[in-house]
Amino acid sequence: MLLKNKNILIGITGSIAAYKGCELVRLLQKKGATVRVCMTPSAKEFVGELTFRALTGEEVLSDWKDGKTGLEHIFWARWADAFVVAPATATTLGKISSGIADNFLNSVALAYDRSIIFAPAMNTKMYTNPATQENIKKLSGWGHIFVEPDSGELACGEEGEGKLADIEHIYEAVLYTVLPKFLKGKKVLVTAGATREHFDPIRYITNASSGQMGYQLAKIAYAAGGDVVLISAPTCLKKPYGVKAVDVVSAQEMFSAVMEYLDWADVVIMNSAVADFRPASYSSQKLKKDKEQPIIELKPNPDILEEIGRRKKKNQTVIGFAAESENIIENALKKLKKKNLDFIVANPLDVFSKKSHKGVIISADGNRIEIPDMDKESSALFILEKIFKR
């Protein structure tokens, strides 16, 4: 519930993607926010106002004169902790960038004195048109935030940029605007996912880590103001908004990628479940079952975190993770010392399969903080706040 006690205003404009506003309302409500919706008159041609009234339990305003007093565009601008225009059409971007206030939505925009989040959605040619791009540049220059559209098949039948961004990414941009910036100015390197150690082109040794915790940590670190690089082994997860992603497969590839970014980083969060061993040999052809039964010999992989600990500079904070099946604290403490860490987050082994997370943060000076059982997103925020809000 990262948006608990937050007021979010969603502005819907006249795009075929207007119906996705319903999904956005539900997601923000699920995260604890109180949501209100305003619509441009043309948005109502795509989705009925009643839909949003029913979803939010609030009135939905369209004309700048709408509402009890006629001043609601000012009051709603004051009320909102975040204002998201999704989908944002070329016309609305053009009007807002020109300071035009001829409907409720763009009147709120003019009265809103913080960063607005825009998620454009339109035909590719309309999106790439210099008029639209100039308006986007102008709005970005004033500090407004753009969640860039995805590429793909558009409603008009054309292929290209212009599809409304993923709803999750729009939510992440909202998080970015409301979370306290306790990692502002910090360069944060996060690793995630289970490495794959191939012994033929399609077969490999790996482990059960889903990568979820690492992705949540990267997402929250960005939302808390960090400049984030996420080095990820293969996962089924979408890359978080705003994060620079580097994809790797094996432990050796992860080692090289981490070493490349190590000097850059102020904070290293090593959450990846790195395979300790890899097959000693690799067959470029698929191993056939009618041949002799293969014996897969293993050899050790580098311990990436141990090497980070060895190279650690004074101003760097290094955080490791330990998933243990027994003697959790004792084993985690051993890793903390051996790998020269500032913090280790110890958790039971079932963290891999569960959606929630609980554990304990142990610092190099012996402090322990229990992490209560909660979803991984909340847990990521809890961990980073405990470590960096001190």
DSSP SS3 for 129: coil
Least Å distance between CB 323 and ligand CTP? 5
The answer to whether 45 and 14 are in contact (CB under 8 A) is yes
Q: Could you say which of 8, 228, 233, 323 contacts ligand CTP (CB under 6 A)?
A: 323
Under rule CB under 6 A, how many of the chain's residues touch ligand CTP? 14
Distance CA 181, CA 104 (A): 31
The yes or no reply on residue 322 touching ligand CTP (CB under 6 A) is: yes
The yes or no reply on residue 272 touching ligand CTP (CB under 6 A) is: yes
Return the exposure string of 348-358: e unless at least 16 CB atoms fall within 10 Å of the residue's CB, then b: eeebbeeeebe
Question: For the chain, what is the total number of helices (H) and then of strands (E)?
Answer: 13, 19
Residue 27's DSSP bridge partners are: none
Contact track, ligand CTP, 209-248, x by CB under 6 A: ----------------------------------------
DSSP SS3 for 46: coil
Q: Could you say which of 196, 320, 362, 377 contacts ligand CTP (CB under 6 A)?
A: 320
The yes or no reply on residue 196 touching ligand CTP (CB under 6 A) is: no
The yes or no reply on residue 303 touching ligand CTP (CB under 6 A) is: yes
Residues annotated catalytic, as ranges: 156
Give the distance between the most distant pair of CA atoms in the chain: 84
Least Å distance between CB 342 and ligand CTP? 12
Answer left, alpha or beta for residue 71, where phi above 0 means left and psi between -120 and 50 means alpha. alpha
Beta-sheet pairing, 227-232 with 187-192: parallel
Distance of CA 12 to the CA centre of its chain: 23
The yes or no reply on residue 305 touching ligand CTP (CB under 6 A) is: yes
Distance CA 193, CA 231 (A): 9
Select 88 or 346, whichever has its Cβ closest to ligand CTP. Answer: 346
Q: Could you say which of 81, 276, 375, 385 contacts ligand CTP (CB under 6 A)?
A: 276
Least Å distance between CB 299 and ligand CTP? 12
Distance CA 192, CA 213 (A): 8
Q: Please list, in sequence order, all residues whose beta carbon lies within 8 angstroms of the beta carbon of residue 17, skipping any fewer than 6 positions away.
A: 87, 121, 163, 164
Q: Taking CB under 6 A as the criterion, which residues in 120-159 touch ligand CTP?
A: none
Select 88 or 274, whichever has its Cβ closest to ligand CTP. Answer: 274
Residue 82's DSSP bridge partners are: 8
Selected range binding ligand CTP among 32-40, 57-65, 297-305, 363-371, rule: CB under 6 A = 297-305
Least Å distance between CB 316 and ligand CTP? 15
Q: Taking CB under 6 A as the criterion, which residues in 328-357 touch ligand CTP?
A: 335
- Packing angle, helices 49-56 and 20-30, rounded to 10: 10
Select 25 or 251, whichever has its Cβ closest to ligand CTP. Answer: 251
Q: Taking CB under 6 A as the criterion, which residues in 90-119 touch ligand CTP?
A: none
Least Å distance between CB 301 and ligand CTP? 5
Q: Could you say which of 164, 304, 362, 371 contacts ligand CTP (CB under 6 A)?
A: 304
Token pair of 272 as six digits: 């990846």
The yes or no reply on residue 61 touching ligand CTP (CB under 6 A) is: no
The answer to whether 249 and 172 are in contact (CB under 8 A) is no
Where along the sequence are the contacts to ligand CTP (CB under 6 A)? Answer: 251, 270, 272, 274, 276, 301, 303-305, 320-323, 335
